[in-house]
Amino acid sequence: MKVDKDRQMVVLEDELQNISPEELKLELPERQPRFVVYSYKYVHDDGRVSYPLCFIFSSPVGCKPEQQMMYAGSKNRLVQTAELTK
């Protein structure tokens, strides 16, 4: 997800499926922040399967300070709205 500066909102930029963390890293822009919600298959010791959600805030070195501020200011609201704290 990215912040659309003109519309002043977080928008879905892309949806990737069946991607490893290593592949995800290659998909992220080198000099622009992004929000990612990543889900993966987890098999518990007792055999149960779950799909936990991980919220990732990527803010690489070299981002413009204005972008970093927009993303940092949007992060908590996005987490609350998407109910990623549960």
- Superfamily per CATH, domain 2-81: Severin (3.40.20.10)
Q: Is 29 left (phi over 0), alpha (psi -120 to 50) or beta?
A: beta
Percent of the chain with pLDDT over 90: 85
- 22, pLDDT greater than 90: yes
Could you state, in order of their start, the residue ranges of all structural domains in the chain? Answer: 2-81
Residue 81 binned pLDDT confidence (cut-offs 50, 70, 90) = confident
Q: Are 19 and 84 in contact (CB under 8 A)?
A: no
- Give the global pTM: 0.84
